[in-house]
Amino acid sequence: MSIELLALLLGMIYGYINPGREDRINILKKAVIFGIVVGIILGLLVGIIFPPAGILVAGAGMVGFTIITLYFAVFFVVGTIIGDFLERKK
pLDDT at residue 84 tops 80: yes
DSSP state of 90: -
Residue type, 33: I
Q: Measured between alpha carbons, how far is residue 46 from residues 27, 51, 59, 90 in Å?
A: 28, 8, 11, 49
DSSP state of 52: T
Interval 25-56: pLDDT, tens: 888 888 888 888 888 788 778 778 877 767 77
Per-residue confidence (pLDDT) for residue 1, from 0 to 100 = 67
DSSP state of 22: -
Strands (E), the chain: none
What's the predicted TM-score (pTM) here? 0.78
Rounded CA separation 6/75 (Å) = 9
